[in-house]
Amino acid sequence: MRAASLVVVIALALPLVLGQFWAYQLGLYALYASAAIGIGLCWGQSGFLPLGQALFFGLSAYLSGFAFIAFQQHSFIAVLTMPVIAFVSGLFAYGIGFVVLRRPGENTAYFSMITLALSLLAFQIATSWNSVTGGFDGLKGIPGLPGLSDLSDVYYVSAAVLLIVLGLASWLYHAPLGVLWRALAQNERRLALLGFDVRMLKAVAFAVSGFMAGVGGAVYAPQQGIVTPQLVGFGLSADLVIWAAIGGRASLIGPVIGTLLVGSLSAELRDSVPFWEVLMALFFIVIVLAFPQGIAGLIEPAWQRLEGRPRGPAPVLAPKGLTDRPAARLALSDVSVHLGEVTILDHLSLDFDRAGIFCVIGPNGAGKTSMFNVVSGELAASSGRVDLGGMEIGALAPHRISHLGLARKLQIPSVFPHLSIADNLAIALWSGRATKLQLLDPRLRRWTSPMLEELKSRYPFLASGGRKAAELSHGEQQILELAMALLTEPRVLLLDEPCAGLSPEETGAVVDIVRWAARRLRGSVIIVEHDMSLVKELAELVYVLHNGTLLARGSVAAVQASPAVRAVYVGGTK
């Protein structure tokens, strides 16, 4: 709150200190900064880079210009259209994101190129469509905003717009949605396995960034009185990316610092300082290499001291539990997976028809992890059927399968390393409980549950919420990921070598939590494991895979006595 108050005071005082001309210049770049904040949201928070952000700024500027020309006798109507125009830009961005970002982790580079191509296309259209856009000379004669008498008034309008966009961004960054965006950038696969639609999260982030650019563009047209094709082109798009990077793309205030400082100085000095572009290029290289967090990274400690240490609010019980769901039968029927000429699974049939702890063993290459990938929706079966609780799930996305009561822990600890322990646990707690609208409510970060409190009492390091997950040991990260899977309160829990790389003491802790989870969830716990001593200790029933098919099924003793198993598989101990 103190830092926000300081920003408002500085914004109000600038015209008095710098004079009207510089106030007008900063007012112009304040509108560009609104678009740069959207770059920071997508690139710095969500992990994907839009290279055509000017498209939405320019689109809104043209639409706003048309509106002010059409309603020049009734300017208040034109003013009322401005938020609608910004919303149209956001909706357009959402459509682009939803179409392009279809598969997790595969389309980020293509997305950047497509947004750049769309910006170049928009520039060509704006340049060529003379009868509508005014061509290369631009759309002229746009009436100004009503009631503005001098350059200071123009500045205050732009400053107000920027503060509104900053307020919106601050709210979203602190809301659960902002936490999910940061998680998306760090570990997209884990987020999907926890039950979140990563495609939708990316599309919404891009929509918000398009809306922010649209807000600036809608004000630009009446403020400047002219809209040119350069506003939708590559030049401005590249400038926005550079300003966000120099200022600090991961910071809320960074893109604003970069735009106001570097952008306005460039406009003033490029014609008077020789080789200004070369100097700016060198400055950009130095900042990116020496200060990856940008200018904002240098002032972040002082900013945090100004903000003060946030108070820890009392936890709030999550609105509903999921443990009352009945146990679900997981069945694979005649499932085959082929990758080219290679057969991964060969008519595999497995049936986990009751609650309990089951172990799946077999030599390397037997298809154990591939079977888990099929069940969790990450690998499509070439043929066969997968059922969970009587529902076929073979064609469902991972987040939809998670909602049906399936959770998975990966072999290598898969957490969100740069998020706090508390946020890692909170994300798991929101899965299946929080509605889309509730993800906009910062109070959700106070949620807890009886299972979470039990886990914290068993493993006290889970209660040190402010520590980042990356600071934990390998064993602690294994337990953190397992705790995250448990907090979704699944009916079927898949564990892929949960004790890999652990010491005997850490292995004992995992064995303890697995047994507790099986009792607590009253569902199926299915473990892929190589350590036969662990299998003997945990398994109620053992399934042996070989060459992608089921070789044997039975108790540990029966499986060990099987001649077929002894011929292909030898278990090791720690």
On whether residue 485 sits in a domain, the answer given is: no
Q: How confident is the model at residue 517 (pLDDT cuts 50, 70, 90)?
A: confident
Domain boundary among 261, 292, 307: 307
Q: How confident is the model at residue 10 (pLDDT cuts 50, 70, 90)?
A: low
**Residue 517 belongs to a domain with what CATH number?**
3.40.50.300
Q: What percent of the chain has pLDDT over 70?
A: 90
Please check whether residues 369 and 235 belong to one and the same domain.
no
State the DSSP code for 315.
P
Residue type (1 letter), 549: T
Minimum mean pLDDT among 246-255, 297-306, 427-436: which range? 297-306
Check residue 16 and give its pLDDT.
Answer: 62
Check residue 573 and give its pLDDT.
Answer: 43
Please check whether residues 302 and 337 belong to one and the same domain.
no
- Decide if pLDDT at 571 tops 60: no
Domain boundary among 245, 273, 307: 307
Q: What is the pLDDT of residues 365-375, one digit of tens each?
A: 889 999 999 99
Please check whether residues 298 and 187 belong to one and the same domain.
yes
- Decide if pLDDT at 13 tops 80: no
On whether residue 67 sits in a domain, the answer given is: yes
Check residue 215 and give its pLDDT.
Answer: 97
**Stretch 418-440: mean pLDDT, rounded?**
93
- Give the Cα separation of 554 and 69 in Å (integer): 79
Q: How confident is the model at residue 1 (pLDDT cuts 50, 70, 90)?
A: very low
Please check whether residues 219 and 119 belong to one and the same domain.
yes
- Give the Cα separation of 506 and 130 in Å (integer): 71
Q: In what order do the strands lie in the sheet with 492-496?
A: 406-409, 492-496, 524-528, 356-361, 541-546, 549-554
pLDDT mean across residues, the chain: 87
- Decide if pLDDT at 218 tops 80: yes
Check residue 105 and give its pLDDT.
Answer: 57
**Stretch 289-310: mean pLDDT, rounded?**
71
**Stretch 24-45: mean pLDDT, rounded?**
92
Q: How confident is the model at residue 332 (pLDDT cuts 50, 70, 90)?
A: very high
Alpha-helix runs per DSSP H in 129-197: 130-133, 151-174, 176-186, 188-193
- Decide if pLDDT at 572 tops 50: no
Check residue 14 and give its pLDDT.
Answer: 65
Closest C-alpha to 452, from 429, 479, 436, 470 = 429
Please check whether residues 303 and 336 belong to one and the same domain.
no
Please check whether residues 344 and 227 belong to one and the same domain.
no
On whether residue 468 sits in a domain, the answer given is: no
Number of compact structural domains in the chain: 2
Per DSSP, the chain holds a count of helices (H) and strands (E) of 24, 12
Please check whether residues 293 and 339 belong to one and the same domain.
no
On whether residue 411 sits in a domain, the answer given is: no
Is the four-CA dihedral 479, 481, 482, 483 of positive or negative sign?
positive
Structure tokens at 116: 């750049």
Please check whether residues 218 and 171 belong to one and the same domain.
yes
Domain boundary among 272, 307, 342: 307
On whether residue 514 sits in a domain, the answer given is: yes
- Decide if pLDDT at 104 tops 90: no
Structure tokens at 568: 């292909």
On whether residue 445 sits in a domain, the answer given is: no
Please check whether residues 157 and 199 belong to one and the same domain.
yes
Q: What is the pLDDT of residues 106-161, one digit of tens each?
A: 567 889 999 999 999 999 999 999 999 999 999 998 998 887 766 677 888 888 99
Check residue 495 and give its pLDDT.
Answer: 94
Please check whether residues 248 and 148 belong to one and the same domain.
yes
Check residue 313 and give its pLDDT.
Answer: 60
The H or E element that residue 225 is part of is none
**Stretch 46-63: mean pLDDT, rounded?**
95
Check residue 376 and give its pLDDT.
Answer: 95
Structure tokens at 493: 């829990």
- Decide if pLDDT at 17 tops 50: yes
Give the number of other CB atoms < 10 A from CB of residue 127: 19
Tell me whether strands 524-528 and 549-554 are parallel, antiparallel or unpaired: unpaired
Residues β-bridged to residue 531: 572
On whether residue 464 sits in a domain, the answer given is: no
On whether residue 410 sits in a domain, the answer given is: no
**Stretch 7-23: mean pLDDT, rounded?**
66
Check residue 574 and give its pLDDT.
Answer: 42
Domain with 165, as residue range(s), is: 2-307
Please check whether residues 174 and 296 belong to one and the same domain.
yes
Please check whether residues 339 and 299 belong to one and the same domain.
no
Minimum mean pLDDT among 296-310, 417-431, 478-492: which range? 296-310
* Most confident of the ranges 326-335, 413-422, 506-515: 413-422
